[in-house]
Amino acid sequence: YMACGMPILAVAEGETAQIVEKAKCGVCCRFGDIQGAADAVIRFMEGKEDIESMKHNALDYCKKHFNKEELMKLVEREMKIE
pLDDT digits (tens, 9 = 90+) for 2-45: 999 999 999 999 999 999 999 999 999 999 999 999 999 999 99
DSSP E strands: which ranges in the chain?
8-11, 26-29
pTM of the predicted protein model = 0.77
pLDDT tens-digit map of 33-54? 999 999 999 999 998 889 999 9
Rounded-to-integer distance, Cα 14 and Cα 55, Å: 21
Rounded-to-integer distance, Cα 65 and Cα 73, Å: 11
pLDDT band at 71 (very low <50, low <70, confident <90, very high): confident
pLDDT band at 76 (very low <50, low <70, confident <90, very high): confident
Write down the pLDDT at residue 2. Answer: 93
